[in-house]
Amino acid sequence: MSYHTPVLFQDCLDGLRLRPDGTYVDVTFGGGGHSRGILAQLGEKGRLFAFDQDPDSARNAPDDERFTLIPQNFRFIKNFLRMYRAIPADGILADLGVSSHQFDTPEKGFSLRFDAALDMRMNPAQPTSAADILMNYDEANLRRVLREYGELSEAGKLARHLINVRSDRRIDTTGKLMELIQPFAKRGQEHQFAARVFQALRIEVNDELGALKSLLTQAAEILAPGGRLVIISYHSLEDRLVKNFIRSGKFEGEAEKDLYGNVHVPFHAVNRKPIRPDDTEITQNNRARSAVLRIAERNKE
In the chain, the percentage of residues whose pLDDT exceeds 70 is: 98
Q: Which CATH class for the 111-206 domain? A: mainly alpha
Homologous superfamily (CATH) of 9-100+208-298 is Vaccinia Virus protein VP39 (3.40.50.150)
Q: How confident is the model at residue 4 (pLDDT cuts 50, 70, 90)?
A: low
Task: Check residue 1 and give its pLDDT.
Answer: 44
pLDDT one-digit tens code per residue, 35-51: 999 999 999 999 999 99
What residue ranges of the chain are covered by domains with CATH 3.40.50.150? 9-100+208-298
pLDDT one-digit tens code per residue, 142-167: 999 999 999 999 999 999 999 999 99
Distance of CA 291 to the CA centre of its chain: 11
Q: Where are the alpha helices (DSSP H) in 84-189?
A: 100-104, 130-136, 139-150, 155-166, 174-181
pLDDT exceeds cutoff 80 at 176: yes
Task: Check residue 2 and give its pLDDT.
Answer: 56
Cβ contacts of 257 within 8 Å, gap of 6 or more: 263
The pTM assigned to this predicted structure is 0.93
What residue ranges of the chain are covered by domains with CATH 1.10.150.170? 111-206
CA 166, CA 51: separation in Å to the nearest integer? Answer: 37
pLDDT one-digit tens code per residue, 226-282: 999 999 999 999 999 999 999 999 998 777 777 776 778 999 999 989 999 999 999
Q: Are strands 267-269 and 223-233 parallel, antiparallel or unpaired?
A: unpaired
pLDDT exceeds cutoff 80 at 101: no
